[in-house]
Structure 1
C-alpha cells in the first residue's frame, strides 16, 4: 500500500529535524560536565550587611557551553544580582526560591577546559551554607520542558573575620560548668519523674519472667513483651493470672489520666495506673531503666535498679511537629519518629502535611493533590507536577522533593501512633502556604475543562481566575494564598476534612481537632479579586482584609464544630490588627477568644516577646512553640559547618532544657545573634502571664521545619539530642532553678540540673538511642578546647562521650589517643568527640593556628 505524499514528507521532516537536533546537541556540553564552585569573596561588601560571592563555571566536558540558547536554574534565598552592569549573565526570579541565570550578549562560548568567574551581590551575612545557591540544572532553549542536572556545586568555606563564628574556646567555656557525675548517682528513669527513690534492691529480668496484666492493659503488655523480645531474643509470656516473680501491670483507681506508679523490687516489677496511657508510660520508664549496654547484643538477663517512682506529666500536650511538606520523609521514618516520641512520653504528633512546596496525603476523589502537588521537578506549566523548590532538582520522583502517603500508609501511621498513645493532629495549611493545593486544583480544573465539564472543573477551585492582586509571601511566592471568598474553597476544605476523618475512623484513631494553619498571609492578597468584591457587596460588615480573615476562620470553625472538632492553628488565627498610638499592631481577636481556639504561638521575638502570654491571658488555649528555644531546625551553633537556619538564633541542646514555660522571659539570655540581652530593656512593659492565663497554657511543642532536611539522617541529627530537652521540660515538674528568686542560687541550681541532664544523656539515653528502634543518627557535639601556656585543654558537653586527638595533622579515629588531660604541643592538635557506639562528631583544631 502506497503512503500518501504528505505522510512521506512529514516523516522526512521529522527525521531531518531529529538528525539536526542530535547533531546540534553533540556540539554542546554534557550538563553533568558543567562544574560549579562558589565562595564568598567579601562577607561585608562595601561595609554593608551584604555579601560579594564568586560563582565559577568550569567546562570539564569535550564540547563548549554555547554563547546562547540555554538557561541555568538554581535555588537561592536571598536574591542575588551580578556585581557588574555589563555582566555576561543576568539573574531572574521565577517563584519561591527558584531563580535562573541566562547569558547576555556579553557571554562568550565557554570552551572545554575553560572557566568563567561570575561575581554576585546578595543581602545578609553568610554564617553557613543555608545562604548558598544550590540545585543547579541546565535547560536548553530547544527543549524548554526538560531540565538536566549539572555536577554538584562545590562550596568553599569562607575565611571571614567579620563573622564571629563560635570557636573551640567558646565551647570550652560553656562546658566548664558541667560536672561529671558517676552513673550510679544518676536518675535511671527519663524524662525526670515527679517522685523517684532508689531502694538499693535490684530486680533481675529474663525472658522467662512473665508479664501479668489486667485485661485493660493487654495492648500495653503486648508492646512491652515485643520490646523485651528484642533485648532477650525471646518474648516474655503474657498472662492475666500468675504468682511468683513477674512484671505486673495493674489497674488502680484514683491516679491521673497519664499517671503511673513503678516499683522495682527483687521479686517483681509492678506498674500501677488508672488508664492504658498511664500503664504505657510506666512501661516506657521500665525500658529506660534497662542499661543502654544491654541493647548492643542479645542478653540472657538484665539487672534493673530497685526504684519507687510516682509520676505524672506536667503538661497534657507534649508535641513534636514534623514537616514533611518541604521535604518528604517515608512512612517508615515517621514510624521511627513515633517510636522515639513514645519512649520519651511525647503524646502529640503535629503532622504538617501540606505547604507551598508539597501536598503529602492522598485524598480519595482529588488525585491531583498528590499526583501534581506531591511531586516537584522542572516544568513549564505545573500541570503535571510543581516546580522545583529548595534544591530538589529537575527530575520529579528522584528526590525528597517528591513523595506522599497513600490512604493505607496514613491509616498505618494512625494505628501505630494510637497504640503508643500519641494523638496525630493533621495540618491543612490555609489560607496561606497553600500553593501545592492551589496548583493541584488548577491542574484538575484544566483537565476537566478539556473534558468539557466546566461546572465540575470549578467545584474545588481555590483561586479567583480573575484576581489581579499582587503580593509576595515571606518565602517569595506570588500565588500561594487561597481565595477565601470562593464557595469552592469551603467545598474543597469540607471534602478534605471528611476524607481525613474517614481515615481516622478506619484506623480507630482519636481525633479532636484539625490544625488549619493560618500563618504568614502577605499584604496585597485579595485586594483586586472580583470574587472578594462580590462577597463584600453582599456582606457590608466585611470591609477589608482583616474582616475577610475573620470571615474565613469563622466559617472554618463552624465547619469543624459541625463535625465535633475544635480549631487549631498558628497564632495568627487568634490575632487581629489595630492602630495604637499611630502604629499598627497585632492584638488578640476578641471575636474568637471564647471559641476554644488552640494556638501554637511561635513568635517571641522582635517586640512580640509576650505574645503567647497575651493570648493566654485573653482566653486562647496556647501551645508554647517559642522559636527562640523550641525550633529544632535552627542550627546548633554559629559555625559554618553546622547545617540549619538561623533567622531566630542558634539552638543548641541547652535552649529547650532551660525553657521556663510559665516565665520564659526569665530564661531569655541571648538575642538572635547569640549576644547577651538586657532583660530590663527587652522586656520593659511586656505583659506577664496571669493566674487565669496560666490555666490556658495547654502544653509545649517543638517543630522541625524541613527546608534543609533531605534525608532521614539529617532529620535525626537536627532532632536529637535537642528533642530530649523538650521532653523533659514538658513532662518533668518545674525545676527549682526556674522558681528560685535569688539569681546566684538559681544559677547554681541550674548548673547542677544541667550537669545531671547531660550526664543522663551522655551515659544512658544517647547510648540507648544508638541501638533503639534500629538506631538514631543523633548529633555528636564538638569538643571544647583552649590553648593555655602551651598546653591544649579540652572538655565535652556530654560526659560519657570521649575525646580522641592527633598531633600529626591526621583526623582522629577510634584508635587515636584518648584525651585524659592537658596536651603539650608546639603545633596543631585535632580533636574529635566519640560516642560509646564509635560514631564521631566534627573535628576541631587548636594550637598555633586558630581553629
Structure 2
C-alpha cells in the first residue's frame, strides 16, 4: 500500500466522527464532482487492448474519471450508493479496485463503489483509469449531470456538474485535439482565423450592398434615386388575414410603422415572365410612386414583400429604386428540427418559423420521436407523453424514460412535449408564413420512446384486467430475445417490431390523429415522414470481427451472440417460415411499404424517409403514396454525389441533407471549446454552407476537403438529376438548451436559405465525366465565389444580424480574427459590422473600433446591443 493511500486512510479515520452515519444522497450530491481527463486519444498506440475490448475499428482512448470530494465532510468507505453518469462514448473498461461500472442503456452508466473503496476525505481526489471507444475531441463530448442514487432516497444531482455552460472535460494536452484518424486542419485560433478570413477578400460597406438581399434575387434592374421607407402600408390582394398579419408583424419587428410607403399589388399569375411564373415567383417594383408586388401566387406576393423588408435597414431608411424579378431555385427549402432528443419550447419554434419565412424557407421538418423522447400529445395514447416525454430515475421505466443525454434524474434538460393545441397552433402559424410542417415519427428503429411507452400502457391495462386493449398498440414481440446494440447503444427495445399487429395499428392511429390536427390547423397533411434510418446492430458492422479473428484494426466481438434486429423474434420468424419474407433483412423495407399504404389510405400525397429507409427499393413506384420523398444524408466524401443522383433518377423526390455541409449541430470551427458532434465535419461555418453547390455535387470536392482536412476526388458519373431541394438539420443530442439551439442554427440558416433559393453564377453546370479535387483541379471560379461571399457577409453583418437581435434570436457571435505584429494588431471578423471586445488582463473589456491601434492579448465577440458576449480567447504565445 503506498504512502498516499496510508495518509488518506489516516485522515478518514481522524474524521470518522464527522462522517455520515449512512450514505446520504443529497449530501453526496453537494460534495462530489466528476471530471474526465484524456491521456491519449491514440489508445492502441499507447498499449490499450482496443481490439480485444471490442472497439469499433480498434479505436479507443485512455483516460481518467476524476472523482473529487469538494465538500467539508468525509465520503465514507463502503457501498450503499451508486453514481450514474452519461457517456456518449462506450466505456469499454474501468481499471480501478475502488469502483465497478455497468452499462444501463444508451449513454447511461452505473458507477458503484466496491469493497475496496476506502472513502474520500474532504478535498481528496480519486482517479479511475478507463478506456473509451473512439476519442474525445470536444468539450461537449463529456455530458453534465451525473447523479447519486441511494435506495429509499430521492436521486441527487451532482451540483458541481449540473451546468450546461461548464466543461467537464479537462483541457486536452499535446495533440489530443487532433482526430487520431489523421488531422490536416490547423486549430482555430484568433491568428488562424485571420489567415482564413483574409483570403476571402476585403469586407464591403453597407452602402456597397444596399441592393443585395439574403437570399439573392434572380435579377434586378436599377431605378432612379432612392425611396425612404420608415413604415409600410400593405394593400395586397391574394393573402389571407393571417398571412397579411405575418408580414405586418415582421415589419413591426424591424421597427417600421404600420402606415407609410404604400405597398400594392397581388397575384398576377402567368402575366409574369415565364421563368418567374412558378410558385413563389414575383416581381417587385420600388420607385418614387410607391412599391408594387406582383406574385405568381400568394406565396410570391408574400416573398416579394419579404424581399422589400430585406432591403430596408433596421428601423427604416433609404433603399435604392429598382425592379426585381425573382423565383425560387427549389420547391423544397427546409429546416429539420430535432425536438425528440432534447425538447425545444414552442416559442423558439415560432421564432424559427418567422426567420425561415423572412429568408424564404418553406418546409419545417419536425423530428418528433426518437429513442430519447416522444414530443406530441396523441389522443387515446396518453402514455406516449406521460412516459415518453419525461426522463427520471425509474429503472422499470413505468413512469418515465431513463435519463439520457445529460438530462440528470429530474428532467433538468430534455423533457417536455407539444400538447395537441400547441402542435395545431404551430402548424397554423407556419401556414400563415407559407411553411409546410412535415411531422416525422421515426420507425422502425429509433423508436424506443414509443416502445417503452406502449409497454407501460400494456402493463397498466393488463393490471386493470383489459388484455385486449393492452395488446392493441403493443410494439414488441414479448418472446423476442434478440441481442442487438443500436447506434445510440440501446438494446432491442429501440426497434418497433414490424411483425406484430400492434405496430400497424399504432401507425394507423398515429397518422389519423396527426392528420386531424393538421386539418384543424387549416394545413391538410401533405407529407408524412416515416424516418426509417439505422435499423441495424452496430456490432455486426465492418469495424468488428469475431473473437477468433486476428485483424489488429477491428474490434473483437463474439459474433455468435449477436443478432440482427428481430433476428430471434418468433413473430418475424413465422413470416420467414411462411415465405412472406426471405429473412429479417427484408423487414425494414416491407414495413416502409406497409406504412406508405396506411399514409396513402388517409389521403396524404407523400411519404418521406431518410435514404436508408428506402434501401432495397427499386424506385418510388414501390410505395403506395403518389410521391416518395427521400432525405439524403450521405457525406460527399463517402459517395453522396452518386447516391443522391441514383435516388433522384429512381423517381424519389430527393432532398439533400449532407452532414458535411448541412448538419447544424456540428461545430462551426475546429476547436475543442466548440460544441457539437463531428463525425462528418469538425468545421462547418457559414462560408462552407454558402459554398455548397447542390446541383453539381462533385464541384464541392474542389472547394472543401473531407472531415480530416484531406482532399478527395469526385467524378460526375451519374446521369444528370433534378433534386427536390435541400434542408439544414438541427439535431439535438447535445444541444440541450433553446439558447444553444439558436447559436447552432443562426447564422448558418441564412447561408442555407441563400443556396436553396438562389443559384450563384460561380456554380458550374453539371457535366457527366467531370472530376473535381481540391488542389488538383481548378475548374471552380473561387474568386467569384469569394466576391459573392463578401456581398452575403456584408448584408449579414450590416443588416441581418441586427434584425436577428431585434427578433430575440441568440445567434452565434462572430469570433475574433487577430494578427499580432510589432505595431498595432491587424483585426478582422467573419462579417463586417460585427463587434469585438479586447482586454489586456482578461477582466476589463473595451469595445474595439475598426482602425484603432490596439495591442491586447484577450479578445471576444459581443452582440450589437452588448447583452451577450462570446468565448474569450488569448493570442497564441502571449
Return the offset for 1:220: 3.5
CA contact under 8 A between 2:227 and 2:319: conserved in structure 1? yes
CA contact under 8 A between 2:266 and 2:298: conserved in structure 1? no
Give the match for residue 146 of structure 2: 136
CA contact under 8 A between 2:444 and 2:498: conserved in structure 1? yes
Give the match for residue 871 of structure 2: 842
Q: Distance in 1 between matches of 2:25 and 2:485?
A: 41
Give the match for residue 581 of structure 1: none
Q: Distance in 2 between matches of 1:660 and 1:606?
A: 14
Give the match for residue 632 of structure 2: 601
Structure number with the bigger relative contact order (C-alpha 8 A, sep ≥ 6) is 2
CA contact under 8 A between 1:262 and 1:272: conserved in structure 2? yes
Return the offset for 1:25: 5.0
Secondary structure at the residue paired with 2:781? Answer: helix
Give the match for residue 701 of structure 1: 727
1:42 paired to 2:40: yes
Give the match for residue 120 of structure 2: 110
Q: How many residues align?
A: 783
Which one of the candidate residues 650, 653, 678 is aligned to 2:712? 678
Which digits, 9 at most, give the CA deviation of each residue in 1:608-659, with x for residues without a partner?
Answer: 3321112112222200111111011111111011111101112111221111
CA contact under 8 A between 1:34 and 1:58: conserved in structure 2? yes
Pick closer, same or farther for the CA change 1:626–1:77 going to 2, 3 Å: same
Give the match for residue 576 of structure 2: 536
CA contact under 8 A between 1:82 and 1:90: conserved in structure 2? no
Give the match for residue 477 of structure 2: 464
Alignment of 1:122-521 (within 5 A): 122-140=132-150, 142-143=151-152, 146-153=154-161, 154-164=168-178, 165-176=187-198, 177-186=200-209, 187-207=211-231, 210-214=233-237, 216=239, 218-230=241-253, 235-236=258-259, 246-254=262-270, 255-292=277-314, 294=315, 302-395=317-410, 398-478=411-491, 479-521=493-535
CA contact under 8 A between 1:36 and 1:151: conserved in structure 2? no
Return the offset for 1:81: 4.7
Q: Distance in 1 between matches of 2:177 and 2:142?
A: 16
Return the offset for 1:521: 0.4
Return the offset for 1:816: 4.3
CA contact under 8 A between 2:596 and 2:624: conserved in structure 1? no
Pick closer, same or farther for the CA change 1:152–1:501 going to 2, 3 Å: same
Q: Distance in 2 between matches of 1:589 and 1:345?
A: 28
Return the offset for 1:36: 2.5
Return the offset for 1:218: 4.9
Secondary structure at the residue paired with 1:391? Answer: coil
Q: Distance in 1 between matches of 2:639 and 2:430?
A: 35
Q: Distance in 2 between matches of 1:778 and 1:703?
A: 16
CA contact under 8 A between 2:600 and 2:624: conserved in structure 1? no
Q: Distance in 2 between matches of 1:505 and 1:26?
A: 53
Secondary structure at the residue paired with 1:700? Answer: strand
Q: Distance in 2 between matches of 1:353 and 1:50?
A: 33
Return the offset for 1:576: 2.0
Give the match for residue 764 of structure 1: 799
Which one of the candidate residues 782, 805, 811 is aligned to 2:815? 782
CA contact under 8 A between 1:202 and 1:306: conserved in structure 2? yes
Give the match for residue 543 of structure 2: none
Pick closer, same or farther for the CA change 1:327–1:734 going to 2, 3 Å: same
Q: CA RMSD in A?
A: 2.6
Q: Distance in 2 between matches of 1:230 and 1:757?
A: 22
Pick closer, same or farther for the CA change 1:594–1:330 going to 2, 3 Å: closer
CA contact under 8 A between 1:61 and 1:112: conserved in structure 2? yes
Secondary structure at the residue paired with 1:306? Answer: strand
CA contact under 8 A between 2:620 and 2:628: conserved in structure 1? no
Q: Distance in 1 between matches of 2:494 and 2:299?
A: 40
1:576 paired to 2:605: no
Which digits, 9 at most, give the CA deviation of each residue in 1:122-152, with x for residues without a partner?
Answer: 2333221232253200111x338x4211123
Secondary structure at the residue paired with 1:152? Answer: helix
Which digits, 9 at most, give the CA deviation of each residue in 1:493-534, with x for residues without a partner?
Answer: 100110111111111113211000000001311111111122
Alignment of 1:621-770 (within 5 A): 621-650=653-682, 651-668=684-701, 669-679=703-713, 683=714, 687-688=717-718, 690-691=719-720, 693-694=721-722, 697-739=723-765, 743=778, 746-770=781-805
CA contact under 8 A between 2:394 and 2:401: conserved in structure 1? yes
Return the offset for 1:217: 5.4
Pick closer, same or farther for the CA change 1:213–1:281 going to 2, 3 Å: same
Pick closer, same or farther for the CA change 1:220–1:303 going to 2, 3 Å: farther
